[in-house]
Structure 1
């Protein structure tokens, strides 16, 4: 049984979806946009809204199934990190108040570890997608599909 490359979704006769090349290869543009879905989270983080970059890529390039998959994955990770940050912030305030400020010594290293986790996995996702590889973030709540 010979294996055939995965075929794209049905398109009007004679047209292939964006990024599809014979042999199942991704186009350079799709790899660029897939990487942008992850890199844009780093850029948007300067506004404290890291989910805006992947959301913008999702809205602009939803015609390519692979780019859409990368944008959704990045968007889910960024939204998960926002939720974790809000819950962690509330817990940090409670811990600091209940321990009369002593809990601050535990909260600061945990916040730094969470920031490093976000940065490292966002960069890994961007590099993998730029190379044309699918990437799934760890500890992600899959809200957008």
Structure 2
């Protein structure tokens, strides 16, 4: 039986009442101790991403909302933050690339949808673009907090990861 199956079996026993919560926790800790090498690799990978990098990733994603306060700031601020911090960490560089690709994609889509407003189909498309332009940065920031780089769906890859 593998590690995952053992944990699932323990959880089933706990849910059925065959073992107590304390027995479950003790058995799970024993299983984790047995799989120490895999756990150590995971810990090293997570430790390799500094919390500061995650915060800068969050700032880069959420700085797109500056455009709601100052016109064009939502386009400029994320790119400036990325350019300032991209040499410090490859994680920050990836967040900047993702956000810059989205900004350029959203700009192009906004122009096309704006032109399509003359034939009315552009109005719902523009509304959808506004909605995803709010949702995508929030999801990106949440993922950045966890140390993940999330590529925005529908985004054109103008810049590639190095």
- TM-score in terms of structure 1 length: 0.71
Give 1:37 shift.
Answer: 1.1
Give 1:53 shift.
Answer: 2.4
- Residue-by-residue CA offset, 1:68-125 (whole Å, 9 max, x unaligned): 00111011011100000001111212x1xxxxxxx3xx54333222211111111111
| Distance (Å, rounded) in 2 between the aligned partners of 1:59 and 1:67 | 10
- Residue-by-residue CA offset, 1:14-45 (whole Å, 9 max, x unaligned): xxxxxxxx813211111100111101111234
| Distance (Å, rounded) in 1 between the aligned partners of 2:124 and 2:158 | 28
Alignment of 1:1-20 (within 5 A): none
Question: Which residue number in structure 1 is paired with residue 6 of structure 2?
Answer: none
Question: Which residue number in structure 1 is paired with residue 65 of structure 2?
Answer: 42
Structure 1 residues not aligned, in runs of 5+: 6-21, 96-102
Question: Which residue number in structure 1 is paired with residue 3 of structure 2?
Answer: none
Give 1:49 shift.
Answer: 4.6
SS of alignment partner, residue 140 of structure 1: coil
Residues 1:125 and 2:162 are matched in the alignment: no
Larger of the two Rg values belongs to structure: 2
Structure ranking higher in helix proportion:
2
Residues 1:32 and 2:55 are matched in the alignment: yes
| Distance (Å, rounded) in 2 between the aligned partners of 1:112 and 1:49 | 21
Question: Which residue number in structure 2 is paired with residue 72 of structure 1?
Answer: 97
Question: Which residue number in structure 2 is paired with residue 23 of structure 1?
Answer: 44
| Distance (Å, rounded) in 2 between the aligned partners of 1:125 and 1:32 | 12
Residues 1:108 and 2:123 are matched in the alignment: yes
Shifted more, 118-127 versus 50-59: the winner is 50-59
User: Once superposed, which parts of structure 1, at least 4 consecutive aligned residues long, lie more than 2 Å away?
Assistant: 2-5, 48-51, 106-111
Q: RMSD value over aligned CA atoms?
A: 2.3
Task: Flag the structure with more relative contact order, 1 or 2, with Cα contacts below 8 A and sequence separation at least 6.
Answer: 1
- TM-score in terms of structure 2 length: 0.65
Alignment of 1:76-91 (within 5 A): 76-91=101-116
Structure 2 residues not aligned, in runs of 5+: 1-36
Residues 1:140 and 2:161 are matched in the alignment: no
| Distance (Å, rounded) in 2 between the aligned partners of 1:29 and 1:37 | 12
